[in-house]
Structures are given as C-alpha cells and as structure tokens.
Amino acid sequence: MPQLTRLRGFQDQIGPSAEALSYVESAFRSIVELHGFREIRIPILERVELYQRSSGETSDIVEKQMYVFADRDEAETIVALRPEGTPGVVRAYIEAGLDRSDPEQRLYYSGPMFRRERPQKGRYRQFYQFGIEVFGRADAACDAEVILIIDELRRKLGLEFRFEINSIGDGNCRPQFREAVYNFGKAHYDQLCADCKNRLERNPIRLLDCKTDVALMADAPKSADYLCDPCKKHFGQVKDLLKAGGVEYVENPRLVRGLDYYTRTTFEYVGTGLESAQNALGGGGRYDGLVAALGGPDTPAVGLALGIERILLALEAEGATPASPAPLDAFVVDFAGGEAARDLTAAIRRAGFRVDRSFDGRSPKAQFKAADRSGARLAIVIGPDERAAGTVGVKDLHEGGDQETIPVEKIVDDLHRRLG
C-alpha cells in the first residue's frame, strides 16, 4: 500500500516540538491571566462572510489564502477555516450579548489558524496563534497595556525582537491619507509592481507595506502627517506611556498591516534573527469599528496575535530553544510477575510522579534497555526476592552508581528525596 503523507504546509508536532509549542502557550497564558484575561474558545469553522466583512475583501487572506468550501447543509452554507482569531472573537462577543451585558472584556485564545500561503520556513498553512483582545476601552493606556504584556513575554522567554508602531488614523482622517497614497500611486504607476497596480484602485493603503516597492514607498505619504487631532493625541499618549513603561519602539510609517479592520494604533514584532519574509513574530492594533461592522454597537477594541512557531524559530536563532520537559521520573523493571509492579506503579503515580513499566514479561536486561530508552531518571526494580522481603531496588539511570534496596513503603519518600 502506498504510504499517505501529510499535506504541504501542514506539520506533525511530535514530542519535543509539540512540547515547545505548549511551553510558549503556557508562558503567554500565565502572563495574560495575571492581567485578568479570560479564555475564549471559538469554532475553527465559520461562515466565509465573517472574514469578508472583517479581515477585508481586498486583504491577501480573503483574496487568496482562505480554505473555503460549501457545507452540504440545506442552505449550502459557504464556510472557511479560520485564517485568524479576531473576527470569530468579535462575532462571539456580540452573539453572547457581552456588548450589552458586560462590554468591557479581556479575552485570550490559542489555537490553529489556516492560511493557504506558499509554504516555507516559518510560513505554514496550519500554524498556531496566541491572541488577546480587549473590548470596551478606547483609552491609550489600554493600547499601551496590551503592548507591555508582550514585553513581559519577551523577558520571560528571553525573546529578542524589534517593536514597530504606527497610527493609521480613523474614519475621520484616513480618507484623506488614503487619497494621498492613491495620488502618489497614480503618479508613480509605471514603477509599481503588478500587485500594487492591482491594489491601487481597491486598497491603496496596502501599497505602503509592499515587499517589492520598498524603495519607491520610502517617499510615499506618511499616515502620521494626516492624523486628525484626536488621533494625533491618542498616538502621542500611547508613545508616552510606552516610554514610561520602558518599551523600546521604532516608528514605522509604512506599517499599515494587511487586515482592513485597524484604526489608529498598529504594531508589529519583528524577529531580529529571522529571514526577512517570515520575520513577523506577531502584530496587532486597535480596531474601533469592527464590532459595529459585524452588527454590534459602537465598541472600541484593541488586540494582537503572536505566531507560536515563529517565536520558537526566533528563540532557536538566538540559541534559546526551550528545554524539553524532563522525561519520565521512573521506570518499573518487573520480574516478579506483574501484580506487585502494577500496584507499585499505581502508588507512585498517585504520588504525582511520571512512571511507566514494561507489560510483556521481557527479560530484566530487555526491561533495563527499555528503561534507558524511555529517558527515565530512575529504574525501580521488583523481582521475587524484593517482593518476598517487601523491598524494591532503586537505580539512578542518569547518574549511574549501585542499585539501592529500600523498603517498599518508603519508595515515595525516596522519590521525593531524589527528584526534589
């Protein structure tokens, strides 16, 4: 039979690589919980309109990266695998009535997202995001707090990145900025890449973060020059608060982000040791119009998401890969016939130690080999003599040395002593 393989751009995470993802997730989780965030779990499948109305019809995600198919329900609903978490969180926020009952919410999520991009290192078709979204707060202190949370994560993981920030204004001032970029694009039409020629009529602001026309865009209009007074004040406050919090930032006037819902603050975390195309470790910003665009009341919001695989690649590039959790604490080597080993293993597990044993009556030598292979720190040996005497043998497989014999009822104390 021919072997079946995984799809291109999809990854199996086995043992250490899965544990590394969990390590980053739990570091993030422990920090955001200290800031009062509550968990939200949302579906992986949503109506495609959700993303069309939020991420934006002209975003790369909606134009070319979504996995979309018709559900075979009566209505032939067109569904999409979620390419990002924000739209689903906003939909759920409105659908649960939180916009009315308790509009100020701090939510976090973690899970797989799907984008049908061209796979390469750091860019996958299924990848993991950890995200936070704050609803009901329009003040600059909230933008700053969200950003400061990532600074805590940076310290906790020993992660290095460059933090870039911009403000793209709001419904009041962005039309003028959009027009200025449009006019700039029109004036330089012949020099634009094919993608930008395409974007010019539909979403000219996206010209600014084109990866091809970088040199040309250096002279393009800057959003900061078009901000209305309230947007300018907000941006100034965010920057002051970041300075006060000791966050280093670089203003990047071309940082407009690839999603349509942003207003005012936008930001990105750029991995300093990563190849340029996949160096965004995370990004986010304010999206004060999205709740209303999805049918809720006017509600300000701000959030961000980090790509967990990219964080791990960045840590690897720095030589700071998280250590895999210790393997098993102990492996029971049994040549006493099964029952005594079964009870002993159960008692050790109840005491909170990770322990495995051999089930197939193999020779002590084969069992010691299995114990070594398992990575367990200790072998706990029980044979007919030990069983008769009410003892067990304990051998440190990592440190070597002689096997010690101890009374069976002392095994848990002995494990505590040896393993701390």
Which H/E stretch holds residue 115? none
Task: Decide if residue 281 touches ligand HAM (CB under 6 A).
Answer: yes
Task: Decide if residue 300 touches ligand HAM (CB under 6 A).
Answer: no
Identify residues 164-193 at the interface with ligand HAM (CB under 6 A): none
Nearer to ligand HAM, 299 or 345 (CB): 299
Which H/E stretch holds residue 413? helix 411-419
Binder among 242, 280, 291, 370 for ligand HAM (CB under 6 A): 280
User: Which part of the chain contacts ligand HAM (CB under 6 A), choosing from 18-26, 120-128, 186-194, 222-230?
Assistant: 120-128
Task: Decide if residue 129 touches ligand HAM (CB under 6 A).
Answer: yes
Which H/E stretch holds residue 278? none
How far apart, in whole angstroms, are the C-alpha atoms of residue 387 and residue 400?
A: 24
Asked if 284 and 302 touch (Cβ cutoff 8 Å), the reply is: yes
How far apart, in whole angstroms, are the C-alpha atoms of residue 367 and residue 72?
A: 52
Binders of ligand HAM: how many residues, by CB under 6 A?
24
Binder among 23, 51, 124, 163 for ligand HAM (CB under 6 A): 124
Smallest separation (angstroms) from ligand HAM to the CB of 342? 45
Identify residues 52-91 at the interface with ligand HAM (CB under 6 A): 84-86
Smallest separation (angstroms) from ligand HAM to the CB of 96? 18
Task: Decide if residue 154 touches ligand HAM (CB under 6 A).
Answer: no
User: Which part of the chain contacts ligand HAM (CB under 6 A), choosing from 93-101, 119-127, 152-160, 359-367?
Assistant: 119-127
As beta bridge partners, residue 378 has 330, 396
Integer Rg of the chain from CA:
27
Encoding tokens for residue 71?
């559900």
Nearer to ligand HAM, 308 or 397 (CB): 308
Task: Decide if residue 309 touches ligand HAM (CB under 6 A).
Answer: yes
Nearer to ligand HAM, 309 or 386 (CB): 309
Asked if 376 and 327 touch (Cβ cutoff 8 Å), the reply is: yes
Task: Decide if residue 131 touches ligand HAM (CB under 6 A).
Answer: yes
Smallest separation (angstroms) from ligand HAM to the CB of 81? 12
How far apart, in whole angstroms, are the C-alpha atoms of residue 355 and residue 330?
A: 5
Asked if 404 and 393 touch (Cβ cutoff 8 Å), the reply is: yes
How far apart, in whole angstroms, are the C-alpha atoms of residue 204 and residue 221?
A: 12
Question: DSSP string spanning 216-266?
Answer: HHTTS--GGGG--HHHHHHHHHHHHHHHHTT---EE-TT---S-TT-EEEE
Smallest separation (angstroms) from ligand HAM to the CB of 193? 21
How far apart, in whole angstroms, are the C-alpha atoms of residue 181 and residue 200?
A: 9
- 56: phi > 0 → left, psi -120 to 50 → alpha, else beta; which? left
* Pattern 239-278, ligand HAM, x by CB under 6 A: ----------------------------------------
Closest residue to ligand HAM using C-beta atoms: 307
Task: Decide if residue 316 touches ligand HAM (CB under 6 A).
Answer: no
The sign one gets for the Cα dihedral 157, 163, 169, 171 is: negative
Encoding tokens for residue 416?
């505590």
* CA-closest candidate to residue 147, choices 35, 278, 253, 225: 35
Task: Decide if residue 307 touches ligand HAM (CB under 6 A).
Answer: yes
Binder among 303, 381, 383, 394 for ligand HAM (CB under 6 A): 303
Task: Decide if residue 283 touches ligand HAM (CB under 6 A).
Answer: yes
User: Which part of the chain contacts ligand HAM (CB under 6 A), choosing from 28-36, 153-161, 299-307, 383-391?
Assistant: 299-307
Task: Decide if residue 289 touches ligand HAM (CB under 6 A).
Answer: no
By CB under 6 A, name the binding residues for ligand HAM: 84-86, 115, 117, 123-124, 127, 129, 131, 133, 280-285, 287, 303-305, 307, 309-310
